[in-house]
Amino acid sequence: MTQHKHESHPQIHARLKRAHGHLARVISMLEDQEPCTDIAQQLFAVEKAITNAKRALIHDHIDRCLSPTTATKDPDVEDFKTITKYL
């Protein structure tokens, strides 16, 4: 598989670091037996951060690796099918 430079990866990394921080907070909140509503709010933040990171990664892959204008050859339809199942 050809390696491509993904300019979005630093931003995706930052999103995942934020999700990691939220998840660490959730674990701490559970240990401290904080209110379920507060824990659910933090879990929602984790979920949104991961979802947004995943979406950015997939869109970047489609734009940079599968676009007919940027691909060195015809777009890989099977790769497209594979990655879109994760949306």
CATH of domain 9-84: 1.20.58.1000
* Dihedral angle computed from the Cα positions of residues 26, 27, 32 and 33, in that order, rounded to the nearest 10 degrees: 70
Please check the confidence at residue 1 and state whether its pLDDT lies above 50: no
Neighbours of 30 (CB within 10 A): 12
Q: What is residue 16's predicted lDDT score, i.e. its pLDDT?
A: 94
Residues 78 and 87: their CA atoms lie apart, in Å, by 15
Q: What is residue 75's predicted lDDT score, i.e. its pLDDT?
A: 67
Give the tens place of pLDDT for each residue, 20-54: 999 999 999 999 999 999 999 999 999 999 999 99
Give the tens place of pLDDT for each residue, 51-87: 999 999 888 888 777 766 654 566 677 787 788 888 7
Neighbours of 27 (CB within 10 A): 11
